[in-house]
Amino acid sequence: MRGVRHNWIRALFLIGMSLILLAFLVLDPILRSWVKRDLAGAVPQEGQATVEILVLPPANTVGFDASPQLSVRFRSQLCSVKNVRDAARMRQGQPVQIEYRIGKSGRFYVDSAQPLPPDTPVPPTPAASH
């Protein structure tokens, strides 16, 4: 009886892992083609956004090429950034200059972000009402 129970568990585990692998193999190309169609003809634009999440790679990694991860708030939406330039100068809540595109669906795709030049005026933030 004990061996039968293990066979069912093993079979369920293998079926579950096979379904997960199949989902990655099938869904990934579908999602990539959807994004490609959504971005077709989108014109790159520039704007300012606010740093929400910044994850810097560890400084002492040797031989490991890790890029910083950045999410910015732009027009009330949280967007991840593909390419981050000069991430060491960025801080949470700080405005940054971004290059973005708007897909046919209305979704924002942020291609790159970098700190604002020192002489750039920062627009005032709306005061919170009490």
Instruction: State whether 67 and 10 are in the same domain.
Output: no
Task: Say if residue 50 is in the same domain as residue 74.
Answer: yes
* Whether 56 and 69 share a structural domain: yes
Give the number of other Cβ atoms within 10 Å of residue 111's Cβ.
Answer: 14
Cβ contact 95:122 at 8 Å: yes
101: CATH? 2.40.50.140
Look at residues 108, 125, 119, 118 and name the one whose alpha carbon lies nearest to residue 47.
108
Q: Both 55 and 31 in a single domain? A: no
Pairing verdict, β 95-102 and 69-74: unpaired
Q: Are 78 and 52 in contact (CB under 8 A)?
A: yes
Per-residue confidence (pLDDT) for residue 128, from 0 to 100:
46
Same domain, 111 and 51: yes
23 with 81, same domain: the answer is no
- pLDDT tens-place string over residues 10-36: 999 999 999 999 888 888 888 888 889
Would residue 120 count as lying in a domain?
Answer: no
Query: Of 4, 102, 114, 7, whose CA–CA distance to 51 is shortest?
Result: 114
Based on the domain organization, do 71 and 111 belong to the same domain?
yes
Please write the tens of the pLDDT for every residue from 62-121. Answer: 666 778 899 999 999 999 999 999 888 999 999 999 999 999 999 999 999 999 987 766
Is the domain of 19 the same as that of 60?
A: no
Whole domain around residue 49: which residue ranges? 45-115
